[in-house]
Every structure is written in structure tokens, then in C-alpha cells.
Chain A
Amino acid sequence: MSMVNAARIARRELRGGLRGFRVFLACLALGVAAIAAVGSVRTSIEQGLQQEGAVILGGDAEIQLTYRFANEAERAWMDANAEEVSEIVDFRSMVVVDRDSGTERGLTQIKGVDAAYPLYGETRLTPAMTLPEALDGRDGLPGAVMDPVLVGRLALSVGEVFRLGTQDFVLMAELLREPDAAGGGFSLGPRTIVRTQALENSQLLQPGTLYETDYRLKFTPGTDLAVLEAAAAEALDGAGPRWRDARNGAPGVSRFVERLGAFLVLVGLAGLAVGGVGVSAAVRAYLDEKTGVIATLKTLGAETQTIFAAYAMQIGMLTALGIAIGLVLGAAVPLALAPVISAQLPLPVVFAIHPQPLAEAALYGFLAAALFTLWPLARTEQVRAATLFRDGAGSGRALPRWPYLIASAALLAALVYAAATLSGLQRLTYWSAGGLFAAFLTLLGVAFLTRRVARLFARAKILRGRSALRMAIGSVGGPGSEAGSVVLSLGLGLTVLAAVGQIDSNLRGAIARDLPDVAPSYFVVDIQNDQLSGFLERTQVDRGVSRIESAPMLRGVVTKINDRPASDVAGDHWVLRGDRGITYSATPPSGAEVTAGTWWDKDYNGPPQISFASEEAEEMGLKLGDSLTVNVLGRDITAEITSFRNVDFSTAGIGFILSMNPGALQGAPHTHIATIYAKESSEIGLLRDIGSAYPNITMIRVRDAIARVGEVLGGIAAATTYGALATLVTGLIVLIGAAAAGERARTYEAAILKTLGATRGSILLNFALRSAFFGLAAGLVAIAAGGLAGWGVTTFVMETEFAFEPVSAIAIVAGGVLTTLLAGLAFAWRPLAARPARVLRASE
């Protein structure tokens, strides 16, 4: 084989231009661009989080305490080590607005700050003023600033007075920008900022109240944060205070961004797979046209390998061009949309050209192009010199020789391995790749079956006399049918969209539809010990209330398991992340089932004992008799696990992972939480009565909380839908490519049909029907495959019941039919308009 000869042939062949390769380039470029753009945005956000870590965190480091302020020793350590310290207290409460027309209440997340806040970044207020000016207040009342969402919800206006607990505040401004908002994570209530000092008379920060204090530390530049973290751990005694620093200012956000970004890359890969169908079809069509050239080259003495190399070089060059276009687009689009993306995200984003995501996208593009072009290229081997003298139709084998099969398998494995490694979501990648592969095979099978059934059906006596319908079905089943490429390309795109639709609707359904049937109306927190009996009496007399549950509530961190650091035993289990709610009870909670061991006696007063949630215990590898050390309010309590019990979190009722015997916790300052099950009509009255009687108590309306969770999920679903739409757009390009490629055949067919006496209307109907059949087949497969994927994710990942969502399914079938119809009809006008004599003579 001579590579020089191959290169010469390749160069001469490419002189013909790129006309036949528009779909090839568009599919590859779009797939690469989508992945590159998602990766670039992800890297931009990650770099923003990294570079602006101190602003997001609100300091170079943060020490967080639960339920309490720092003691003297802790504060002394902070003052000694930091250049500046800012103290923040963070908790949920109710904003109360008294008006003549009635009292308005709204849940809020209060941030009490000191004069040093913010150490980094700036707040932005409207009307424009500095935060200290705003918090100074006026007319003897302390000031507050509030999220515009809550201001709007309560119809407050600047200058109006509202109450937090028992303290009046004046609203001085709306809070447009809170520099450290992203570090706080998900919260149910919009933000209100006041001075901590001003909360002294509010009765909101009593012993046992659920609040957190954050100490933001500012160090001299160049301070080694890792060294300080170690020093803090030693000086501040174990797990009570929790350390975060600017190296990873918002770990929750960065983990979320990383995962969502990786997930979207996987969706992008699905797009690349769809594009691969177009790439493959384009190469196939190109090489079909070159059959004569290849046969001539063979006649002239070219070896099979030389010819393969010549065409592989051409495809290689086009692949490089397609990838380059994709990379330019993928890098440029996020830059162009930077102002829009920045405005949508409450995060600092560093937009730039990031080489790593571009390199990843190029790798995916190269592997996908190689995978999808190898088989068509292998067909060059099957062209014989005799083709020039005799029609070569039907001489080719269905499968290429085994070396090509092995190479294809290797490329597929490399692509999946690269995606698994680079995304960091190995399990999801393998499942997605498996699902995609299965969908691919299913669609190929359906395309094959569609052709077979159409071929059989076209001969059915019932169709005789219905010429347009029979001809349409006959062409779906006949040679040169577009069934394969159309069903595959559109079907894959629609499948991804259908899966996203089913998962989204089931997720929303599980939260919004199923939960409220069993969920309480209100979740009540911060009920003081001396308020509990009054609170219960007051709610029980309400006729609309069907049930009330209450439990003591403390928060603690599981630090050790059997005297070893907890993370050494149970890894990164969510129960060990941060502090958890803990309760105590003399008897098992009503409805709870003790699955192993025994609950302590009612009047037990021995060494501390624990009852642990059985499912989580199993995940963490806990056994009866194990000892757990729990840090509660800075004090370590070590207790033995004496029972496991089932805890059902799906009802949104009270459920604690960890319950202790009363003697272990009763002495610690604590509050109570309660759930109220009431008719919807009684909810407003309850809020008013309890809110007036106990201003410090916070009542969270479960319906509002569900709506807030729904909003967050909606955002994620929207991002995923955009990803799926990119896949669908690629599918459309493939579809249009297939329709365009079939135009010549349709022109020829229309000319013959006109010769035989067919009117343009009947020919158009014939073309429209066959397009609709393809769309219908693709849509039906998409619903089945998307539904299956939805069922898998809903059942095994979300662990909820799957309910098929018909509206999006019908929309997808209709969309599939409409899309193929439009693409088919768009390329039907020329065939219909062509004069039969010219068409037929041109092909003589």
C-alpha cells in the first residue's frame, strides 16, 4: 500500500468540494459544539467558584456552630489568628406585617450580621445605600433589608414596619445582591438581613432555638489555609465547630454544578450519537456515489488498502474540519452569551476559552466520527472492478470483515470509557451508554421491522386501489427506504426528550401530587419547652386539625463509630455530612416498627442508648451493639445502638434517623418540632392564631416548601430539556439530510408516476404519508424507550412509583409525525415541479 498514492487520490477527490458533506459537518460540529459549550460553562462556573471562593464564602474561612455562639476560648482563637472576624447568625423565622386590613405572615431566612459584614464583596440595595446605613434604621427602629421576592409577597414597601418575633423593624431597602448567597445553599425562605444586636429583644434566639452561627475569618494574604484548618481542628476541639474555607467556598454548589454539567455532557453525547447516524449516512451516500471511481481505481491497479486509506484520509480531514467548527462554536457561544448566563446565575462566572473542556469535546468528536464512519468506509473493500460493467447491486455483505468489527468495538469501548472517566459519573455513564446502545439497537430493529411489515402490508389486498397509501407503504418497505436513518436519528432524539419528560413529570408528580395527600399542612419549629403544652392545646381545639405530632428536637453530629472516626467506617454517607436532627423518646414513635433489638424501658435511666433508622444503618454498616459518639452542643455523647426501626421519610412527617433515651438528652437545651395535619381551609387561621400567641415559633407551610422544591427541580429539568433539545436538533439535521439525499430519488419517482398518469396531488399524498409513517414509528419507539428509561430512573434511582405521563408522550408522537412530514414535504416541491421528460432523459 502506498500512503503517498492514497494521499494523492484523497486530495484530488476533495477538489470536488464539500457539497455532499454539509450534513456530515453540521452533525459533527453541532455535537462537538454542544459538549464543548456545556463543558466550557461548567469550567467557567467552577473557576468562578474557585477564584471568588472568599466572596462566596464571605471570608477566607468560616467556622460554623450549631445552636450557639462561640465561647470565649473559641472567639479568642479566631481573633488571634485572623486579621478580621465577622459573626453571623442564620435561622428561619416569620416576618409579620400588621395592617388595618389584617396581618400578613411570611417565612424568611434571617441573617443577623455585625458591623464587619461583609468581609468580602458588597451588598447591593435599592434604594441605593450602604448596608450599615440601611441597618441603622430610622425613628428609633432598627433597619432591615429584604429579598424583593418576599417584599412583593407581603406587599411591603420601603419605610414600612414589620415584626420579627417581638421586635419591630423598618424596611429600609430591597436586597438585590447578597455577596455570600451562593455559599448558603438551598433555603425555603427568602432572605432578610438585620443586625444581630437588634435581635436581642426578639425572643428568637433562645436556648434550644434552631440557629447557626458563622464566623467568617479574613487572613493576611498568603496564609496557608490547610495549616490553619489543622490548627483550628486542634484548638477548637473536634466536630462541634465546622470549618470551610475559600479553597472550596460553596462545596454544595460546586458539587451540583459538576454533576449537572457532567450529566449534560452525557446528554450531549446522546446528541453526538444521533449526529453519528447522519455522519454515517453522509459517508455511505458519498461512497455510493464513488462506486464507479473506486471500481475504476481498482481496474487501474489500486490496492484495496490504498483505496481505503484514500477515503479514510478524506473523511479524516472532514472530521478535523467538523470538530474545529464545533470547538469554535462551543467556545464562542458561552462567551457571546456570557452576560445572559451571568444574569441568570447567582454565582461569579469566569468566562474564558477553557482548553480542557474543548479537548474533551474534540476527543468525543473524534471517537464518535471514527466509530460511525468505519463501517461505511469498510464497504470500499466490497466494490469490485466488475461493477463498471455490471450492476453491483446486491453484491455487498451486510457486515464488514472482522478486523473492522473489532476496531468498531474498541472505538465504542474507548468512547464510553472516556465519558465515564471524564464525567466522573461512572455508574450513570455506563447506564446511559447501555440505555443509548439498547435504544440504538431497538430503533435499528424497529426500522427493520417497519420495512418488513410495510413490505408485507403493501401487498395486502385491502390496500389495492388505494394507490397513494399502497405506494407510500411500499416505498417504506422497499429498497433504498429511508426508514433506517430517519427512524434512528429522529427516534434517538425523541427518546432522550421522552425520557426527560417522563422523569421530570414523575419527579414533580411524586412531590407535588402524591405527597400532599399524606403530608402535613405545617411543619412547626422552635417551640420552647414551656410553650409546648399551650401550643398543643391551642391546635387541638381547632376543628380543622385532624392530627398533631410533636417531638423534642436537638441537632448533633455523628463523630465516631465504635471509637473510630465515623467517616472511616461509613465513608461519605449523607447522615455524616453536617449536623442531623436528633430526638429522644421514652416509647417508640407511633407507627414506627422496631425491626431489630429492643426499645429501652419507659423509665430507663442507664447509660445512653440509641435507636437508629434501619435502612440508613444498613447502608452505613451499623450493627446492634455498635457505639456511636454524637456531638450535641459541643458535648460528646457516646451511646450504644440497641434497636433499629423503620423511618418513612416520604410522608414529610416527623422522622428522625437517631433517637435516644430521654435521660441522655433531656438535660440539654432544646426545643420541639411539630407537624399539624389540617384542612386547607383551616391553614390560614392556624398560622394567624399560633403566630400571634407565640411570635418566636416558625411555621413552614408544607405546600409552599413543595412549591419551592418544585421551582428548583424545574430549573434542573429545564437545563436537561435544553440538552435534550440539542440532541433533537441534531436529529432534525440528520432528518433534513436524509430528506435532501432522497430528493433525487423522489424526483425520479415522481417523473415516472406522472408518466403513468399520477396527479401531483396523489404524488404529494404518497410522499406525505411515507414521511408520516417514519415519524410515527420514531415517535412510538421514543415513547416506549423513553418510558422504559423513565421507569428505570423513577423506580431504581428516585425509588418512587412510576406513572406514565401521556401528555408529553402524545406530544412527542405528534412532534415526530409533524417533523418528518415537514422535512419530507420541504423536499417534495422540487420533485413535484420537475418536468418528467427532462428527469427521465437525464437518467438515461
Chain B
Amino acid sequence: MTDPVISLHDVRLSLRGNAGNVDILKGISLDVAKGETLGLVGPSGSGKSSLLMLMGGLERATGGVVSVLGRDLTPMGEDALALFRRNHMGVVFQSFHLIPTMTALENVATPLELAGQSDAFERAEAELDAVGLGDRTHHYPAQMSGGEQQRVALARAAAPRPDVLLADEPTGNLDGKTGQIIMDLLFGLRDRHGSTLVLVTHAPDLAARCDRTVRLVDGRLDTSALQDAAE
């Protein structure tokens, strides 16, 4: 493997809850290569989404090293992480997480604006066109269906041409047919931009489309079940 884009070494995550500390991740070590598509699978509560959040710098590891594009995210502050995401990452959530007070176009243009792109709106329009929403640019999220909202979220994540695309159960809230459309779009975007894609999913057919799949069980990698899609 060439230099990994994402490198996790003995990553741990503990959260303090009402019942005391809960260990979510218990020493994960994992590398993701440039341009690779990695599927994270496992039962509910196994720590898949938490692992994805750590990769995106949205959650802070309580132990170990999270390195993305050669940068160690663990010592970075909130704003430094935000700047890093702005320049290198796109994130897609199960619940879309569009800003409700912004139109579709504004939602997609926001990361480009934050990155100081002068053609933010033109590019945002092109991205919306690419996901088939060229005629819904001025609609607010509440005026759109779930599938449409997720397409906006995809366009928003892909618009800055990120090195890394993180997707947390992007079809989890959608029906089968819409989910299929979203996945086609997601893989299409990834192919177009050459991004590294890490995908959390419960759907076996979706996992099957990834280059590699890792399974998490109770906060650990299930090495017995490691598969290589190439095999």
C-alpha cells in the first residue's frame, strides 16, 4: 500500500455518561489508501459512526493517533480541525443535516464560500445539476423530500472536491429505490473526483460495492471477518 490517506493507530474513545465512562472504541488500528473505498459494517452500537467521526475530526479520540493526509488530528484545536475539513473533507450523514434556514443552493455553496472560492455559487449550481436538482436550487430543506435532501447533502459534500469523503449510513433514512439512486450518485461522485471514500452502512449490497469492508464488534475490529473485495 502506498502512503495511507487515513491512518489510525490504537485509537480509543471513551465517553462519560450518567452511568460512568463508556468505552466506545477499544484500540482500533487501520489504514485507508488513497482512492480506496472502505465499508465500515457491524451491529448497532459497535462504534462504526464514532470511528467515522474520529476520521473527520468531529470527535476527539481519548487515546491513540488519528492521522489524515499525514496530519495528526489528535492535537489539533476546534478551528484547526474545521479548517482541515474545509480543505480536505466532505461528510454525508444519515439525517442529511442540511441547514434549515438556507436554500439548497446556499447549503451547497457554503463550504465553497468558507474556502474562499469566488465561484462558489456557480459551482454549487453545477453540483446540484449533477445530482439532478438543478430546478430546486431555491427550495428550503423543509420543502424537499428525504431523497432530495440527501442529494443536496451529497452535492454539498462533493462540491469542494474533497480528498476524503465520509458517509455515515447515507441511505439509512431512505427507501430502497431512493437509497439506490443516492448510492449511485455517491459512487459516481467518488469516481469523478477520485476521493477516498469511507462508508458506514448496514446494507450488505452497499458494502459489497466497496473495495474493502471492515467489521466492528463492540468497539474492536473483527479481524476474523476481514474480507478483501479483491479476493
Contacts and interface: CB of A to CB of B under 8 A. Distances in A.
Do they bind each other? yes
B5 to A, nearest CB: 18
Nearest to B119: A464
Residue with the highest number of chain B CB atoms closer than 10 Å, among A391, A760, A841: A841
Interface string A381-405: 0000000000101100000000000
Given A394-B143, A841-B49, A758 B82 contact: yes
A650 interface: no
Interface string B110-144: 11011111101100000000000000001010110
Interface in A160-179: none
Interface string A426-467: 000000000000000000000000000000001101001101
A464 B120 contact: yes
Contacts of B87: 757
A471 interface: yes
A471 B82 CA distance: 17
Given A478-B100, A756-B114, A758-B114, A835 B60 contact: yes
A464 B101 contact: no
14 contacts: A465-B118, A465-B120, A470-B106, A474-B102, A749-B99, A749-B101, A752-B99, A754-B85, A755-B85, A758-B114, A837-B58, A838-B59, A840-B95, A844-B95
A844 B170 CA distance: 12
A533 interface: no
B140 A479 contact: yes
Given A754-B78, A837-B53, A479 B100 contact: yes
Contacts of A756: 85-86, 110-111, 114, 156
Contacts of B99: 749, 752-753
B97 interface: yes
A542 B95 CA distance: 92
Contact of A840 (B78, B97, B138): B97
B101 A757 contact: no
A357 interface: no
Residue with the highest number of chain A CB atoms closer than 10 Å, among B49, B91, B114: B114
Residue with the highest number of chain B CB atoms closer than 10 Å, among A459, A749, A752, A755: A755
Contacts of A470: 106, 113
B228 interface: no
A757 B120 contact: no
Nearest to B120: A464
A222 interface: no
B101 A752 contact: no
A475 interface: yes
A463 to B, nearest CB: 9
A708 B111 CA distance: 65
Contact of A757 (B85, B93, B102): B85
B116 A465 contact: yes
A761 interface: yes
B142 A464 contact: no
A843 interface: yes
Given A464-B120, A471-B102, A480-B100, A757 B142 contact: no
Contacts of A836: 58
List 4 A-B pairs, minimum CB-CB distance, nearest first. Answer: A757-B86, A478-B101, A837-B58, A467-B113
Contacts of A461: 121
Contacts of A758: 82, 86, 110, 114
Interface in B41-84: 49-50, 53, 56, 58-60, 78-79, 81-84
B71 to A, nearest CB: 15
Contacts of B143: 394
A480 B53 CA distance: 28
Nearest to B87: A757
Contacts of B50: 837
A577 to B, nearest CB: 62
A844 B93 contact: yes
A759 interface: yes
B14 interface: no
A761 B82 CA distance: 11
Residue with the highest number of chain B CB atoms closer than 10 Å, among A481, A757, A760, A844: A757
Contacts of B95: 840, 843-844
Interface string B181-217: 0000000000000000000000000000000000000
A481 B101 contact: yes
B94 A757 contact: no
A474 B113 CA distance: 14
Contacts of B111: 756-757
Given A464-B121, A755-B58, A474 B79 contact: no
A546 interface: no
A481 B102 CA distance: 11
Contacts of B81: 754
Contacts of B106: 458, 470-471, 474
Nearest to B173: A844
Nearest to A761: B79
A751 B59 CA distance: 11
A751 B102 CA distance: 15
A2 interface: no
Contacts of B98: 752
Contacts of A754: 58, 78, 81-82, 85
Contacts of B79: 759-761
A66 B110 CA distance: 83
Contacts of A843: 95, 97
Contacts of B103: 474, 478
Contacts of A467: 110, 113-114
A762 interface: yes
B142 A753 contact: no
B111 to A, nearest CB: 4
Interface in A471-529: 471, 474-475, 478-481
Nearest to A470: B113
Nearest to B162: A757
A478 B110 CA distance: 15
B102 A835 contact: no
Contacts of A745: 100
A574 B218 CA distance: 91
A461 B105 CA distance: 13
B107 to A, nearest CB: 9
Contacts of A751: 97
Nearest to A463: B113
Given A394-B142, A748-B97, 19 more contacts: A394-B143, A464-B118, A464-B121, A465-B113, A467-B110, A471-B106, A474-B102, A752-B97, A753-B110, A755-B85, A756-B114, A756-B156, A757-B82, A759-B83, A762-B114, A835-B59, A837-B50, A837-B53, A837-B59
Contacts of A841: 49, 53
Contact of A475 (B93, B101, B118): B101
A755 B97 contact: yes
Interface string A812-844: 000000000000000000000001111011011
B106 to A, nearest CB: 6
A755 B59 CA distance: 11
Interface string A734-759: 00000000000100110111111111
